[in-house]
A and B are shown apart, each in its own frame.
Chain A
Amino acid sequence: MEPEGVVDVLRRLLSALVPGGDVVDLTMAPPDEVVESGGEVLGHLDGSLFFPRALAAGAGLDVLADEGLLALVREEPVTVIVRYPTGSDLIEDIASRTYTLMPAGLAARLATVETECLLHSYCIVRTFRKI
């Protein structure tokens, strides 16, 4: 969703929700995702383009909370692990993302890794209640 129009979309979707209903938002959050293989941290992805967009979009819910339409009732950080058979598989997957970048040095290291690679992604799960 484009951050610019997110509040309008949220407002419309919120009208589908009964009073007292819940909004659960799962979103990625800083710090940058960590790449690991064989127990060794190989580097971090570059989320400098992604996170400002994600945070701006997620802030749409805060706007509605500030307007008194929603109340934040719960927030929990979660770390999710994505497993890839090799470093090349991880490179290929990140290349399909629009706003997350693979630093050249990390890509060079990953290209030589023929064993399993782990990507640690940081997320936040927030729960709002419709007032």
Chain B
Amino acid sequence: MARVVDAEGVHLAAILRAADFEGRRILEVGSGDGRLTRGIAPLASSVLAFDPKAEDVANARSSFPENLLEKVHFEVAQAEEIEVEQQSVDLVFFSWSL
């Protein structure tokens, strides 16, 4: 089943209008297959991306642009399981995950 989500890019555009991602350390909760991660990673200084679905995280990793992988870390975890150092990120992004 091939579906195309937001070919128009309105989602990412709205996210980028919502806050300044430039040079910031991002914590993304609910990164899914990395669709929005791919859009914010070029701007961010780093992205910690979590999703509970192992298959989606594997797809995100394998399809992610190689030149951006060094500043993006994907991990399988429920929001309840996420452990991040105190005051270590500049922006928390909940993507359809609350």
Count of chain A to chain B residue pairs whose CB atoms are closer than 8 Å in the complex: 123
Whether A25 is near chain B, meaning CB under 8 Å from some CB there, is yes
Contact-residue size bin, chain B (C-beta under 8 Å from the other chain): 35 or more
Known pairs A22-B92, A76-B18; A1 contacts B7 (CB<8 A)? no
**Does more than half of chain A's interface fall in helix, strand or loop, or is it mixed?**
strand
Whether A60 is near chain B, meaning CB under 8 Å from some CB there, is yes
Known pairs A9-B79, A24-B18; A81 contacts B7 (CB<8 A)? yes
Contact of A127 among B2, B5, B19, B29 (CB under 8 A): B19
Whether A23 is near chain B, meaning CB under 8 Å from some CB there, is yes
A-B CB contact pairs (8 Å), 12 listed: A10-B98, A16-B89, A18-B87, A22-B92, A26-B93, A26-B94, A27-B94, A60-B98, A74-B18, A78-B10, A90-B3, A125-B14
Excluding A6-B98, A16-B27, 17 further A-B contacts by CB distance (< 8 Å) are A1-B97, A13-B79, A15-B86, A16-B88, A18-B87, A18-B89, A22-B20, A24-B92, A26-B14, A26-B95, A27-B94, A27-B98, A78-B10, A80-B5, A84-B1, A85-B2, A85-B3
